[in-house]
Structure 1
Amino acid sequence: MLYREALGAALRTRRLEQGRTLQDVATAAAVSTPYLSEIERGRKDASSEVVVTIADALRTRLDALMFDIADRFETAAARIVVELPLAEDALADATITPLRPTADPQLLAA
């Protein structure tokens, strides 16, 4: 997970919880609606100044937003840790085959 994806998800969640539109929040934050949409979808990086203005427009504290982002990373990391033993089991059962057949020692001696 990228920071911009976690930020976008946190912003979108807050906006939807408030029942507000992209246009309403974009206007309040003095950013374009398409730009806010790209930020929410995790496709654009937002400067710290823009993040602060969007958080203000959503009437949310910046520290609360950052804790939400940290929780999203923690959840994503927990999913990876749970999946790792399965991957290790698959590797343990795998057979390694050479990329090319080994040479016959009798042919090498001739």
Structure 2
Amino acid sequence: MGGVEPLWREVAGHVLRRERHRQHRTLADVAAASGVSMQHLSDIERGRKDPSSEVSAAVTGALGLSLGDLAIQVAQTVRVGSQAETAVVLDLSTGNPVAHSRSAPVSGQINDALCAAA
């Protein structure tokens, strides 16, 4: 494979944030329900922190997901992105999709991008 794959924590964070938004829930709501601070949950959703299995279970539980559900969604996201010659990358700082060639080098940190689809 020629491109750089996103880190697990980046994709998992995106999946958690996508699910929270799908449920129309606030960061404060999920943080309170999971027992995780808002700042830590925000860092997890942005792929900046690699949560322990206990924290991951608490957050997924607060969202009505299991760790297995999270693992499946992360694996499907990475697999779809890795099958593409050109990936659509979601810039999490702006929310805008950006085309990225898998053969091109990635400049800067990849924690603000997620391979979503081709």
What TM-score do the two structures reach when normalised by structure 2? Answer: 0.66
> What does residue 40 of structure 1 align with?
45
SS at match of 1:79: coil
Structure 2: state its 5+ residue gaps. Answer: 1-5, 88-100, 105-118
Matched, 1:62 2:62: no
Counterpart mapping for 1:74-85 below 5 A: 74-80=79-85, 83=101
- Aligned residues: CA RMSD: 1.9
SS at match of 2:83: helix
Distance, in Å, in 1 between the alignment partners of 2:43 and 2:85 is 26
> What does residue 26 of structure 1 align with?
31
Structure 1: state its 5+ residue gaps. Answer: 88-110
In terms of fraction of residues, the more helix-rich structure is: 1
Q: Which has the larger radius of gyration?
A: 1
Distance, in Å, in 1 between the alignment partners of 2:7 and 2:59 is 19
Percent of paired sites with the same residue: 42
> What does residue 71 of structure 1 align with?
76
Give aligned pairs, total: 86
Relative contact order higher in (CA < 8 Å, ≥ 6 apart):
2
Distance, in Å, in 2 between the alignment partners of 1:65 and 1:31 is 17
